[in-house]
Amino acid sequence: MSKVTLIKKIGTQAISSLRKFIQDSRAVGITLLACTMLSLFLANSPWSAAYLGFIEKKMGVPGRLHLPHNLIEWINDGLMASFFFVVGMEIKKQLLAGELSSPRQAALPIAGAIGGMLVPAAIFLLINRNTAYHDGWGIPMATDIAFSLGVASLLGNRVPLALKVFLMALAIIDDLGAIIVIAVFYGKDIAWLYLVYAIMPAQME
């Protein structure tokens, strides 16, 4: 067997294994929780300085490209953007021809998302009233969609599709609401031109 054939075979097997892993929702959920536990352990261990230094180390990307410069920025600005794009496409599918295709079906996750924003903000304000931290009420408003879906995926097919769609819709709407709150109450200037650019592809469909 030639080296080229061997490399192709190894590459095919690696892609096949990766595809099986991604399609196994339980494996993805377990990996998410395991990585979270490992990160929490490292961040609170004697190796925390080395761990934080690793994820914040500059990677040498030229500044003119306006790309993230360290690992944590690549995760936040790159991988999370891809994650929300995939989840957003699934939500769009359900809105057009799925579990959320009618206003009556979509009303429940919308109401849940609104409540999921207002109640945590109210609790935060109640606890931090008349303190230097009361302006941070927008922080607890966002739902961590990755963990919501990760926990649901651990149960596999025992979780109904409708429940998974509800969790996705609730978390997405909640996050969008939190982003609007951040932009309106915590932001300084809105780049209206870039906002128009972002809206244009949706209007061209």
Mean pLDDT of the chain: 77
Summarised one tens digit per residue, pLDDT across range 130-153 is: 888 888 888 888 777 767 777 777
Return the amino acid letter for 79.
L
From the number of C-beta atoms within 10 Å of its C-beta (0-12, 13-18, 19+), residue 170 rates as: buried
What is residue 107's predicted lDDT score, i.e. its pLDDT? Answer: 84
What pTM was computed for the model?
0.62
Domain boundaries, the chain: 1-55, 98-203
Summarised one tens digit per residue, pLDDT across range 41-61 is: 998 999 999 988 888 887 766
**Share of residues in the chain with pLDDT > 90 (%):** 6
